[in-house]
Each structure stands twice: as structure tokens, then as C-alpha cells.
Structure 1
Amino acid sequence: MGLALDQYNKRPEIIKISHHHIESKQIDKAAKSIINQLTEAGFEAFIVGGFVRDSILGLKPKDCDVVTNATPEEIKNVIPRSRVIGRRFKIVHARAGKKITEISTFRSSSQRETKRSHKGILLRDNNYGNIEEDAFRRDFTINSLYLDITKMEVIDFIGGFKDLQNNILRSIGESSLRLTEDPVRILRAIRFKAKLNLSLETELEKEIFKLAYLLKEVSSGRRYEETLKMFLTGNAVSIMSEMQNYNITEHLLPLTKGYLRAKKDRRLIFNALKNTDKRFHQNKTLTPSFLFSVLLWPALINKTGELNSKKEKIPKVSKASNIVLRRHNEHCFIPNRIQKSIKEIWEMQIMLLRIPEKSKMTLKHKRFRAAYDFLILREKSGENLGGAGDWWTKKISS
């Protein structure tokens, strides 16, 4: 089970390169530069979190986050092209070309500058501390590993290195408190479980079942961003399965949840997620609009009836689209430009059935490729569309 904070040995374990196997050449140049600038200015600075975790596991990390004892304003003064963002948790974004490196300040266990909702959700936490305090403020032990790039040593206050070796995901402190103060940690736990093939520690697993309802308290905008992280990072199929196992779907995607029990709808959604994972690993483009057009398609069909005839009217689809998106936005707000793209993909399902009379105009539509891919997905999932997919495939290649 997750240990109480006073039960941890606050004397850190120092893990040498012979055990963690992270090499200096793996470290992002921008992160190295930031750390060097901060240390030259008299501050401490380390790489923390996902880069350290994934590198130890032999995976290719996505980001290289830096943590320091410099405050956000001090970071901004030292690092060129950087800006302070956030109100809930102030951090700094430093830009080098198109790349942005996230720099955070050590958190403290003090409650002085914290603000919580009546349900215990942490609304603001800008108390700053030292590396030891910061280690105990993080969510899971495997994310509380600090890389000192000058000595190439990993500093472990919590036992995260051992948990990584044993494939265990464990909360730092009481799981109930950690998940309550930030319910998004429930989604992060599911994501790490699926991505890293971890086992959830018993108490953490129990509390996820118990506290999943708190996801409804997370802002709709943040839920949108977390949905993208869940399904557009290469593990969508396993994550959706885990979400169902832990009864999370109803809290994150309530309009989708009920349709996952229907064989036809489930096949469509999982075929799309499988294809999404494949495209991710092939470094191909992934778009939120295509993802949500699939996840919400069964809800649309529930309003319109089957859309498999060219005689269907586009205004009917448009009206139903507005209703479905409005209902979804009550839980997870999709930006307006993405909503527009979703509607176009849906409406084009009718246009793609109007062959050959509308083919020239349809081919020129900016959403043609996404709508065509969606049409092919529907056919591969068992829907009879009168051979429209095959017709368009030949048209494109002719």
C-alpha cells in the first residue's frame, strides 16, 4: 500500500549510471542549456519525471522537464525567451526554436498558499520548497526521480526506482488524498498502467474505483486536454479497455460509454483506436477532430438514424450534430474550430455517398481526406455503404 509520508526514508538513494543506464547524449540540448544557465546563476536544477522514468525503462521519452529551486520570476530573468504560465500551478515555458521546455519550481508541503474546493480538490498550489519536499509532492513514486546531469546520478527519495524495476504504480502518501486533490491523477494512473504495462498497487486501485466520480469536478477544458493525452499518444486501445475496467468511461466520455456495449459501435470505435495507435507509431498526423468524430458518431446516429443513403439531408445531420456536440461540451468542451471540423466530417458522409454526381466538388473539400478515412472505417467495421469506399479509393488512385 502507499506509505504515509512520515514512513518514507528521506535519505535519498543515489543510483549510478551503471544501474540507471541513462547517457548524457540522450538528454535534450535545450534542457541541458537551461540547467547550465540556472546552475551558473547559483540555482539547483534537475531533470525530473517522464524523461527519467522512460529512459530507465529503455523507452524514448517525449519531453524533458526541468525542476529547480529558482522561483518562476527568477527563472524568467535567467532563461531567455521564457514566460510564466498558469494560475493553479505557476510554471515557466522556455522556447528554443519550435521546442518548448517546461520548468517548474520545487513544491513545498506547506499549506500556506494552497486553496482547495469543498471536496478537497487542490485549486491552487504555489508554495515553493526544496528538492526533498518536492519529491513528496509528486503523484506517483516512479515520477519522483531526479537526474543530476553533472554527475549523471538519479536521486530517489521515495523508492520509485525499485517500483519501476517491479512494474508497480504506487501513490506517494495516501492514495485517497492524492487522487482527491487532483482527480486527473486517476487518468494519469490509467495512462501509465497501459503505456508501461504496470500493476496498480492495491490501495491505489481501490481508490480509483471509489473516486472516479470526482472526474466530473475537473474543468471541461482540462478534460478535453486529458482525453487527447489518453487517445492520441499510441496506447488508445489498451487505455479504452482499462477505462472500461475501472468504470471511468462514464465520467470522461458519458455520451460514448453506453454505445461501447453495442457490438457494431464497439467495433467501429476500437477499429478507429487501433488505427490511431498505428498512425502514432508511424509518426503520422493525428487530429482531435477525427478522434471525436468517431467517439461521438454513435450518439449522432442515435439522433439521425442510419446515414447510409445519398438521399439523407445534410441539414438533418447538421441539426443533430449541434445537439450532440452541445451535450458533449457539458462534460468536455471541444474548441469551436475542432467542433466545426467534426461537423464537416459527419456532413461529408452524405456527400461521399452522392457518386458520381458530386465527386469533383467533394474531392476539393478541405475535409475530404478525413471524411474518406472515416467512410472506409465505417465499411471495414461492417457497415454497408453500397461500395462507396471502393469507388472513392479508385477515384483517388486514377
Structure 2
Amino acid sequence: MITGQETLNNKKHKPLVLSASKLGISKSSINPKALSILKALNKAKYDAYLVGGCVRDLLLGYEPKDFDIATNAHPEQIKAVLPSTRIIGRRFRLAHVHFGREYYEVATFRAPHDSSDDGQVGKEGRIIHDNVYGTIEEDAVRRDFAINALFYDVHNDQVLDFAGGMDDLEKRQLRLIGDPETRYREDPVRMLRAMRFAGKLGLSIEAESEAPIRELAPLLENIAPARLFDEVLKLFHSGQAKSVLELLREYRLFHSLFPLTEKALQQDDDGYFQALINDSLENTDNRINDGLSVTPAFLFAVMLWKPMRQVEAAYREDSYPDPQCMQLAANDVLSSQVRNTAVPRRFSNVTREIWLLQSRFSQKNFRRATQFVENRRFRAAFDFLCLRSIAEQNKELQADAAWWEEFQKVDAERQLEMSKAVPHVKKKRRRKRKGPPKV
């Protein structure tokens, strides 16, 4: 097995060649559209392989979600063979081969960086441009982890291992190819990927690959918020979000993604906020593993709930009217969060709605209640209420959750009876003052 910087410098290293069928994978395991891309490129006399996560997952007995392809064809050559191709990216040019709304990623083999504009590296060692093309051997040892540097040659029924990935799979470990600090500095997101693979696949992190993570964690603050948003979804919609969160906090990476949440967790003396997050992530994991849909809006509603409530309380202390306090707090907290992870408005708006609708669960007037159940965000808001009632061990919230659970199931006559049985409570108004609190 080749390891460390020696691997990166050894361009002529011959791979370990294994029979794919003997390892338990075959063409029947491959998405037909991905297979058609491989065949088209091979027919045009280009080399093309399945690579990365899909090969790893097939070897581990999982069903791959994505089928990534690596080839010696350049993006323009891929487009010439497959006209439905769209070439994307500046920092890392890729070919997306489209089948209607669906697409498959095809990348040209990369080589080590040079001093040209196509291979720029920043002052801190971060890759700025990554468009230096090379051979399969060079491409393999430039990949992040050894278990992601396995190539599946469908045409010849072979798995090619250039960096000891098969050995790592047997050891159930995650190991960076090359010098860990250098590789993390090239792309700090690799630290997040380490957490995701370790949590999702139940892998240990090899000692040398683990050592620099805590020290280098602040480098994530230099990553574009839009990219970190994408990574957050991968981390927490992996089907093992609870394990991933524990790892992120253990290695001091969570703060760069959710600084307000990390601060709130450190102040969570009663443990209610941690319980809310744990219950929510467990629910999310169950839905994903059952093949059900999840929304990023709910994730952010949970993660930012306590920070928002803290700001809301500050507005209330300044005698702002109750209806405004949560709205102002939601705006402040979401505006702060997008500086770390650029949450698109289509999600942040739903997060805000989930929060603001919580107050309506105390309003059980028959007309308002029937209208509320028809609200398009009712289900998400109700699920959030149920999680709160359990995590906070709040009897009043639990009573509300039980009331609304029944209200949704009974007929109109019973709904009217339920509403009439609820005592009416008149709320006090607060005097408005200026001077909003700071997040």
C-alpha cells in the first residue's frame, strides 16, 4: 500500500487490479443511464470509469445514490460525444450529462497543481483553480480519501485500487491520501467530508488524518457560505445525522457552520435544546432511511430555535409588542446565519413560518382552528410543536399537541365541541420601545 506524500509523487504506481464480480459488484448494479455514458465514451475510444462514492458503496453493500464518472476525455470532447452535456464550473470544470431534469457528473482526470492559471493555490494552501488535466494514476492519488480513489472498469469487470482503498475498507477506516495538513489546507471542506463518511459509514478516522483537524477547523470560515450550505445538507441529510453532529462538535467544526447554535448548546443547562436537536435528527434519519422527503427549512428551524428565542426574549424585555418580538428575532437570527451558511430564501422563509405559527397552537377558536389546519405549513409547524413538547417536557405544549392531534382526526361537530370546551384567555398588550437588541 502506498501512503503519504510518496503516493502523490509516484505517478507511475501500478494499481491493485481486482475482479469486480468476485468482489460482489456487476453491471446489473449500475444505473442504466450511467452505464450508457460509459459505453458511449468507450465507443469513442476514451477511457471511462465509475469512481468514488458509488464504487465504495457497492463494495460495502450499499445502494449508491450517485454514479460519478472519470475519464481522459476533456469537457469539450465529452460534449462532442454526448450532446446533452453542459459544461459547468470555473474553479473545477465538470461535464453534466443530462437526461431531462436528471444529470450525471463526468470529470476529466486531474493532475497535480502547477503554476499556471488552471492550477492556482492560495496563500493558505487552498486550491483556487483545479483544471490541470492528467492521467488516471495522477487523478487517483489527488482524490481526498483512499476509499474514494477506487475505479470500477465496467468494460473489463475490474476494480482498480491506486492508494490502498481496499485495505482501508477492510480496516473500516478513513485515511487521507498524502500529507493530511496539506490536503486539508487545499480544501478545508475535506474535514467535513471526513465527519460525514465517518458518521454515515461507521468508519474510524486514521490517526494521522485525524490529528490536525481541531487546529485547522477555523479554515472553514474562509469557505463560501453557499458551499457550506450544500455541505450542511449532505451532513444532516445523510441518514446518520445524530452521529455526524457528535463528530462535528467533537472536532470543533460545528461552530463554523452554526455559531449561534453552538453557543446556545454550551449554555443549555437544562438540556432541552440538545434534546430537541437529538429528537429532530433522529426523526430526520428515520424519514430518510424510510425513503421519505425532508426539508432543509425544518433543520434550520430546529438548529436556530433557541438562539431565536433568546433574541425574542431580549425584544420582549425592551417592551416590544408580542406579535413583533418573534418576527424581529427571526429576521436577526436568520440574517446572522446566512453569513456562515447561505440559506436560500425559499427555505429561510419556511423556517420563519414554522416559528411564527407556533403561537397559533394556543388559539383554539373553531373558525381559526379549521382555517389553520388548512394552512400549507400546518403539518411542519405541528411536527415542530410535537418535538418541542417532548424535548422541553412541557405539559402545556403536550396538551396542545394532543388537542391538535385529535382535532385533525375528528368530524366538524366534534371539532366544534372541542373548541367550545377551551377557556378563552385575553392577552396583555405591551408598550413599544425603540432600540433593537443585537444578535
- Counterpart of 1:361 in structure 2 is 371
The answer to whether residue 305 in structure 2 is matched with residue 305 in structure 1 is no
- Counterpart of 2:128 in structure 1 is 123
- In 1, the alpha carbon distance for the partners of 2:15 and 2:354 equals 53
- In 1, the alpha carbon distance for the partners of 2:140 and 2:221 equals 28
Equivalent of residue 350 in structure 1, options 359, 384, 387: 359
- Counterpart of 2:31 in structure 1 is 28
Equivalent of residue 222 in structure 2, options 207, 217, 234: 217
Deviation at 1:208, TM superposition (A): 1.1
- In 1, the alpha carbon distance for the partners of 2:157 and 2:348 equals 46
- In 2, the alpha carbon distance for the partners of 1:70 and 1:110 equals 19
- In 1, the alpha carbon distance for the partners of 2:323 and 2:77 equals 56
3-state SS in 2 of match to 1:286:
coil
Moved over 4 A (4+): 6-9
- Give the letter for the 1:322 counterpart: N
Alpha-carbon displacement from aligned partner over 1:229-251 (angstroms, at most 9, x marks no partner) = 00012010000011111111112
Number of residue-to-residue matches in the alignment: 394
Which structure has the greater CA radius of gyration? 2
- Counterpart of 2:232 in structure 1 is 227
Deviation at 1:24, TM superposition (A): 1.3
- Give the letter for the 1:375 counterpart: L
Equivalent of residue 142 in structure 1, options 147, 159, 170: 147
CA contact (8 A) 1:353 1:385 kept: no
The answer to whether residue 174 in structure 2 is matched with residue 169 in structure 1 is yes
- In 1, the alpha carbon distance for the partners of 2:231 and 2:30 equals 26
1:232-311 matches, cutoff 5 A: 232-261=237-266, 262=268, 263-305=271-313
CA contact (8 A) 1:10 1:158 kept: no
The answer to whether residue 54 in structure 2 is matched with residue 51 in structure 1 is yes
Deviation at 1:360, TM superposition (A): 2.1
Question: Measured at CA, do residues 304 and 2 of structure 1 come closer, stay the same or move farther in structure 2, by a change above 3 Å?
Answer: farther
Alpha-carbon displacement from aligned partner over 1:262-299 (angstroms, at most 9, x marks no partner) = 10100001100010000001111100000100000010
Deviation at 1:18, TM superposition (A): 5.0
CA contact (8 A) 1:5 1:136 kept: no
**72-81 vs 178-187, which moves further:** 72-81
CA contact (8 A) 2:20 2:152 kept: no
- Counterpart of 2:396 in structure 1 is 385
**281-290 vs 97-106, which moves further:** 97-106
Alpha-carbon displacement from aligned partner over 1:46-81 (angstroms, at most 9, x marks no partner) = 000011001101111111111101111111121132
- In 2, the alpha carbon distance for the partners of 1:110 and 1:204 equals 21
**99-108 vs 258-267, which moves further:** 258-267
CA contact (8 A) 1:76 1:82 kept: yes
- Counterpart of 1:4 in structure 2 is 5
Q: What percentage of aligned pairs have identical amino acids?
A: 37
3-state SS in 2 of match to 1:124:
coil
Deviation at 1:356, TM superposition (A): 2.8
**237-246 vs 7-16, which moves further:** 7-16
Deviation at 1:19, TM superposition (A): 4.1
- Counterpart of 2:424 in structure 1 is none
- In 2, the alpha carbon distance for the partners of 1:383 and 1:81 equals 56
The answer to whether residue 202 in structure 2 is matched with residue 197 in structure 1 is yes
- Give the letter for the 1:287 counterpart: T
- Counterpart of 2:418 in structure 1 is none
Deviation at 1:364, TM superposition (A): 2.1
RMSD between aligned alpha carbons? 1.8
- Give the letter for the 1:273 counterpart: L
1:177-196 matches, cutoff 5 A: 177-196=182-201
Deviation at 1:193, TM superposition (A): 0.6
3-state SS in 1 of match to 2:326:
helix
CA contact (8 A) 1:314 1:347 kept: no
- In 1, the alpha carbon distance for the partners of 2:384 and 2:170 equals 41
The answer to whether residue 94 in structure 2 is matched with residue 91 in structure 1 is yes
CA contact (8 A) 1:314 1:350 kept: no
**357-366 vs 74-83, which moves further:** 357-366
- Counterpart of 2:430 in structure 1 is none
- In 2, the alpha carbon distance for the partners of 1:85 and 1:161 equals 32
CA contact (8 A) 1:81 1:94 kept: yes
- Give the letter for the 2:49 counterpart: F
- Give the letter for the 1:394 counterpart: E
Alpha-carbon displacement from aligned partner over 1:94-118 (angstroms, at most 9, x marks no partner) = 1224432111000011413212222
- Counterpart of 1:160 in structure 2 is 165
CA contact (8 A) 2:146 2:174 kept: yes
**7-16 vs 262-271, which moves further:** 7-16
Alpha-carbon displacement from aligned partner over 1:341-389 (angstroms, at most 9, x marks no partner) = 1111100001122113521221122111100100011011123435111
- Give the letter for the 2:349 counterpart: K
**Normalising to structure 1: TM-score of the pair?**
0.95
Alpha-carbon displacement from aligned partner over 1:113-172 (angstroms, at most 9, x marks no partner) = 212222111111101111011001100100000000011100111111111111111111
**11-20 vs 324-333, which moves further:** 11-20
CA contact (8 A) 1:2 1:170 kept: no
- In 2, the alpha carbon distance for the partners of 1:142 and 1:319 equals 47
CA contact (8 A) 1:93 1:102 kept: yes
- Counterpart of 1:39 in structure 2 is 42
- In 1, the alpha carbon distance for the partners of 2:156 and 2:5 equals 31
- Counterpart of 1:394 in structure 2 is 406
Deviation at 1:212, TM superposition (A): 0.9
- In 2, the alpha carbon distance for the partners of 1:328 and 1:383 equals 28
